[in-house]
Amino acid sequence: MRIEDTILSSLLMSEEYARKVIPHIDKAYFGERVDALLYDEISAFFIKYNKLPNTEAVKIQVTDRSGVTNSDLESAIENLDNFSSAPQNLEWLVEKTEAFCRDRALYNAIMESITIIDGKDSSLNREAIPNILQKALGISFSTAVGHSYLDDAEARWEFYTRVDAKIKFDIDMLNTITDGGLTRKSLTMLLAVSGGGKSLVMSHMAAGNLREGYNVLYISMEMSEEKIAERIDANLMNIDIDKIKVIGKDSFVTKVSNIAAKTQGRLFVKEYPPNGAHAGHFRGLLDELKVKQNFIPDVIYVDYLGITASARMKMGGSVNSYTYLKSVAEELRALAVEFDIPVVTAGQVNRGAYGTSDIDLADTSDSMGIIHALDLALGIVRTEELDMANQVMFVQLKNRYADPAMHKRFVVGLDRPKMKLYNIESPTAGFHPEAQGKTYAPPTLPKIADTSFTPVIKSNIDTSGFTFNE
């Protein structure tokens, strides 16, 4: 069924739908004359009488209308007779209608711009084209125009005090530095060397979110869906990852059922090839999950930014890695804002950052251009001493939630076989010597003398205008 038929038939059958969409639909969005004719009559009737016409009333209106050819009249009546019932999911229908209007408005704007460029429109010059395109791209059914600071004080206070306003971590220090968890519409990035634990930390976070009842979408462009799920299995089942395959099918299924019984959340893992998907693909995935699975995520993980494609540009030519990956970061941030959820991703640092606690944003091999889009950037530090102690260090590189100088560096426990992090009481507590079959004293952690963050900027990167500790 054509979307045009769905829209027109729904206008005749759902007053709630009609009130939501008629103020935003222009008959020029309908490419077929008959579709435009029917919409014109339906909307005119609704506006005049404040109620929906029935099919017979529309037939009479079309028949009495001057200038309608016999062919168009026959087609209009045939369409009206063939209209089926409106879809039950009103929210989905409104979203699809909005997308239809935006697409048609953009198409019409492009065609109008071509006419202007060709000099066939004497009333407008080329300077009008940006405004024409901007108006089309700005099509939205939302009636909200923004937050009124003085008028919305009560709503703002309620937002500040809402328990569910943030996505909580199961690691105390992560909650401390974010004042209770990740806010919606935010972009977080984890930085580590290759093999430094980015995916482990992200899969742990995803497992913790699921355990707490959140809906989680994990997008992987580095590992398969099964490998990500395996890490989450080990975490939630509290089983060494290499022991999962030997516990037996019945026992495994029972454990998954027990996990499902203890959470209200759901988790989907979606795999794309490296550089094979961008934010536009993710939007399509979110639409599919909503319609087909009745699933709306509370948080999205993208593993990882450096191998995510840009929807706006292609790498090569005049587009360098700085510009390209800046675009990717901005698109992920836009996704977070559009869907009102936090997005967590990761970036890769140069191998030379291994074994030091002085990791900073200048070490990233992805691009310094991503910094402006980030709300939170955390470096993941591995050293031989930390590995022996079954610990991992986090370094705050950027933090819009709080002063990053507070708790600049902190250590959490790491159970690598079980793919999980855990709280420790002190920087030297929480290791498991028995896991290594050894007994040893707490190691000496890397000396931390300076808690300020002064990025070491590479000379080939334009960093003008950057502010890191916002």
Sheet bearing 391-399, strands edge to edge: 267-271, 216-220, 299-303, 343-348, 187-192, 376-381, 391-399, 409-415, 420-422
According to CATH, what is the number of the domain 3-137?
A: 1.10.860.10
Could you tell me the two tokens for 20?
């939501």
Residues 6 or more apart whose CB falls under 8 angstroms from that of 148 comprise none
Could you give the angle at which helices 321-339 and 279-293 cross, rounded to 10 degrees? 30
Residue by residue, DSSP assigns 348-411 as: EB-GGGTT-S---GGGBSS-GGGGGG-SEEEEEE--HHHHHTTEEEEEEEEESSS-TTTT-EEE
According to CATH, what is the number of the domain 164-436?
A: 3.40.50.300
Lookup result for tokens 């899969």: 203
Supply angle C-alpha 283, 284, 289, rounded to 5.
100
Of the candidates 116, 108, 93, the residue with the CA atom closest to the CA atom of residue 139: 108
Could you tell me the two tokens for 99?
């997308």
* The 3-state secondary structure of 43-98, one letter per residue: HHHHHHHCCCCCHHHHHHHHHHCCCCCHHHHHHHHHHHHHCCCCCCCHHHHHHHHH
Residue 19 vs residues 11, 47, 89, 170, 333: alpha-carbon distances, Å: 9, 10, 16, 44, 32
Phi, psi of 185 (to 5 degrees): 65, 20
CA separation for the pair 107, 130 (Å, rounded): 14
pLDDT in the model for residue 313? 76
* Paired strand residues for 347: 191
pLDDT in the model for residue 143? 59
Phi-psi region of 371 (alpha: psi -120 to 50; beta: other; left: phi over 0): alpha
Could you give the angle at which helices 70-82 and 3-13 cross, rounded to 10 degrees? 70
Of the candidates 470, 204, 238, 225, the residue with the CA atom closest to the CA atom of residue 344: 204
Domain ranges of the chain: 3-137, 164-436
Residue by residue, DSSP assigns 161-191 as: H-GGGEE--SSHHHHHHTTSSEETT-EEEEE
Fold match flag (3-137 vs 164-436): no
**Using an 8 Å Cβ cutoff, are 393 and 409 in contact?**
yes
Would you write out the chain's pLDDT as a tens digit for each of its 470 residues?
788 989 999 999 888 889 889 988 999 999 999 999 999 999 999 988 988 899 999 999 999 888 889 998 999 899 888 887 766 788 888 889 999 998 999 999 999 899 989 888 877 777 778 778 877 877 777 655 677 888 888 887 876 666 557 899 999 999 999 989 999 999 999 998 888 889 999 999 999 999 999 999 999 998 999 999 999 999 999 999 999 989 889 999 999 999 999 999 999 999 999 988 898 899 889 988 998 899 999 999 998 898 898 887 777 667 777 788 888 899 999 899 889 999 999 988 765 544 555 566 555 545 566 888 899 999 999 888 898 999 999 999 999 998 888 899 999 999 999 999 999 875 433 333 333 333 333 444 444 444 333 333 333 333 333 333 33
